[in-house]
Amino acid sequence: MKKLLCPSMMCADYRYLEKEIESLENAGIDIFHLDVMDGNYVPNFGMGLQDIKYICEKSIKPVDVHLMIEEPNRYIDMFVNLGVDIIYVHPEADSHIVRTLQKIKSKRIKAGIAINPGTAFYTIEPLLYLSDYVLIMTVNPGFSGQEYIDFVDEKIEKLLNVKDKYNYKIIIDGACSHSRIKILSEKGVDGFVLGTAALFGKNKDYDKIINSLRKYN
């Protein structure tokens, strides 16, 4: 099955955002990945609502939004109205996470949970019934350029083992290098968020990079 390659637009060159969107789509990416941070749930800020609206309007490919914010349930309608196709929420940030996932799905878009490195598998397993996607963080959320946290591999294996039971797709977010993508693709991971480790800040030859990653399908 074709792997989902999801460029993290937080790493894009915003001086030429329209060109970045076009170049990435022409290269064959699958989903644009947008990070939203409120400075509370994680100690950083990004992305702006204007940027999200612009990318949703300009893109042909689906757009996901990763909400690293407190009380995400309060903002679901806003992001749906901006035009996103997938919304990821962190269970720790929402005291009524089941209700929030149900709300996302009621909007006829895809619901996803984002799992931090320190989040135990057993605490999120009941949520898998409502999850179309599971975003596994292999770095601490909030900053790009971090090193891969190896002990998350055990959690990846557990989520792979029950993937068919709950019918979700697994996406890895954090330090997704070419070598790591190759290893995890062979294990059955469905997709990867591409940041500075594999895509951005290399040589701008997105066609060549995406084509090289496709060989791991």
Q: What is the pLDDT of residues 89-121, one digit of tens each?
A: 999 999 999 999 999 999 999 999 999 999 999
Q: In what order do the strands lie in the sheet with 32-38?
A: 4-7, 191-194, 169-173, 133-137, 110-115, 86-89, 63-68, 32-38, 45-46
Catalytic pick among 30, 173, 190, 205 = 173
Catalytic pick among 35, 64, 94, 190 = 35
**Catalytic residue status for 35:** yes
203, pLDDT greater than 80: no
pLDDT digits (tens, 9 = 90+) for 44-95: 888 899 999 999 999 999 999 999 999 999 999 999 999 999 999 999 999 9
* pLDDT-based confidence at residue 187 (cuts at 50, 70, 90): very high
Residue 5 structure tokens = 């390659």
Separation of alpha carbons 94 and 87, rounded Å:
14
What is the value of pTM for the model shown? 0.96
> How many other CB atoms are there within 10 angstroms of residue 198's CB atom?
23
172, pLDDT greater than 70: yes
**Catalytic residue status for 150:** no
* pLDDT-based confidence at residue 148 (cuts at 50, 70, 90): very high
Rg of the Cα trace of the chain? 16
54: CATH: 3.20.20.70
Domain coverage including residue 141? 4-214
> How many other CB atoms are there within 10 angstroms of residue 47's CB atom?
18
Total domain count for the chain? 1
Q: In the predicted model, what is the mean pLDDT of residues 128-140?
A: 97
